[in-house]
Amino acid sequence: MAPLNLARLIAVAADTIAAHAEELTALDQAIGDGDHGLNMKRGFEAVRAEADAFAAKPLPDALKAIGTKLVMTVGGASGPLFGTLFMALGKEIAADPDRSGLAAAFGKAVEAVAARGKSQIGQKTMLDVLQPVHDALAADKTAAEIADIADAAAEATVPMRALRGRASFLGERSIGHMDAGARSTALLVRSVGQAIGESA
Amino acid sequence: MSNVGIVIVSHSPLVAEGTADMVRQMVGDEVPLAWCGGNGHGGLGTNVEAIMGAIDKAWSEAGVAILVDLGGAETNSEMAVEMIGEPRAQKIIVCNAPIVEGAVMAATESSGGASLKEVVATAHELSPS
């Protein structure tokens, strides 16, 4: 794989989250507590503020540090969930991973998120995007294909009934809305693909 | 202090502080007690750093029981325990109980010198399984 420009990747991800903050908040207002956009924006701006320091570290350490920063700054359940994703990825990944190493590490990170949220696939959460993204990584799909798969997976949460998180309180009324965490996950997947595509 | 500590974590600082007031009315200063609430930026939410601080404040060698309100408070509390790490982490338990009743019952149990296991069991009795 082409060498990863982590500072650029962070900038693209933070820009994407900032540009979609209102949309994420609107999704969360429909079936949650309405703080997802602001929380994610706060977390990714905090990561952006230290992007150069993160980029100077070896990839595993950088991912762990980004995860810790998200845990400390997001200020909602998304903090530990996205934080755990990055921390576990950092713990599992090699400093210069090939595709199969990346897919394996990502698989472990998805398991860590499931454990943190005591959740599983099909419960209308970010896991419903993470799992197909893992499968696409393992199947050697291109960055553009993976981004499309993530978008479709987020869209597929619309008819689901929420079984975890605040949206689960609404029962059947959670049906018909996209899960905000699934949407933000898909946005991040596309940002990563875009940043990697620029450097390829 | 040798009694089990109690930490109250709510999305709302008003709920957390009010719950702590009710605990204090019941047990006075016999139980190490701390609370936190809010996202750290003036809004509703919970904050891992604040939870870690509350655990430090209510720390007891007998352990600490954490009472939470909604899901994010539980997830953030579990994250805080993990970041505190061993050997202290094994003496910290996030309770599955209603926050107000759980905190008052757990603190009352603690004030009698009960173990962490007993304190947590008392709180858990309030939740239908």
Q: Residue A69's Cα: distance from chain center in Å?
A: 14
* Residue B42 at interface with chain A, using a CB cutoff of 8 Å: no
Residue A80, min C-alpha distance to chain B (Å):
6
The C-alpha atoms of residue A127 and residue A109 are separated, in whole angstroms, by 11
Q: Residue B57's Cα: distance from chain center in Å?
A: 11
Asked if residues B54 and B34 have their Cβ atoms less than 8 Å apart, the reply is yes
* Residue A131 at interface with chain B, using a CB cutoff of 8 Å: no
**Range with the poorest average pLDDT among A194-198, B40-44, B69-73, B111-115:** A194-198
Q: Mind giving me the DSSP string for A126-194?
A: THHHHHHHHHHHHTT--HHHHHHHHHHHHHTTTTSPP-SSGGGGGGGGGTTS--HHHHHHHHHHHHHHH
Return the pLDDT at A147. Answer: 97
* Residue B12 at interface with chain A, using a CB cutoff of 8 Å: no
Strand B33-37 and strand B5-10: the pairing is parallel
* CA diameter of chain B: 37
The helix (run of H) or strand (run of E) holding residue A104 is: helix A99-117
CA geometry: angle at A48 spanning A188 and A118, to 5°? 45
Q: How far is the CA of A2 from the CAs of A167, A185, A200, in angstroms?
A: 40, 23, 6
Q: pLDDT tens-digit profile of B24-64? A: 999 999 999 999 999 888 889 999 999 999 999 999 999 99
Return the pLDDT at A56. Answer: 96
The C-alpha atoms of residue A14 and residue B106 are separated, in whole angstroms, by 43
Return the pLDDT at B26. Answer: 93
Total structural domains within chain A? 1
Q: Catalytic residue positions of B? A: 11
Q: Would you say residue A1 lies in a domain?
A: no
Flag whether the ipTM exceeds 0.95.
no
R_g (Cα) of chain A, nearest Å: 16
Of A33, A79, A165, the CB nearest to B76: A79
Return the pLDDT at B129. Answer: 64
How many residues are recorded in chain B? 129
* Residue A8 at interface with chain B, using a CB cutoff of 8 Å: no
Structural domain range at position A142: 6-199
Interface test with A, best of B12, B36, B47, B52 (most A CBs within 10 A): B47
Q: Would you say residue A51 lies in a domain?
A: yes
User: Residue B17: is its pLDDT beyond 60?
Assistant: yes
Q: What is the CATH number of the domain that holds A80?
A: 1.25.40.340
The CATH number of the structural domain formed by B5-124 is 3.40.50.510
| Each residue's pLDDT expressed in tens, for chain A with a length of 200 residues | 556 789 999 999 999 999 999 999 999 999 988 889 999 999 999 999 999 999 999 999 999 999 999 999 998 889 999 999 999 999 999 999 999 999 999 999 999 999 999 999 999 999 999 999 999 999 999 999 999 999 999 999 999 999 998 899 999 999 999 999 999 999 999 999 988 877 54
**Residue B1 confidence class, pLDDT cut points 50, 70, 90:** low
Q: How far is the CA of A135 from the CAs of A119, A150, B40, B120, in angstroms?
A: 18, 11, 37, 40
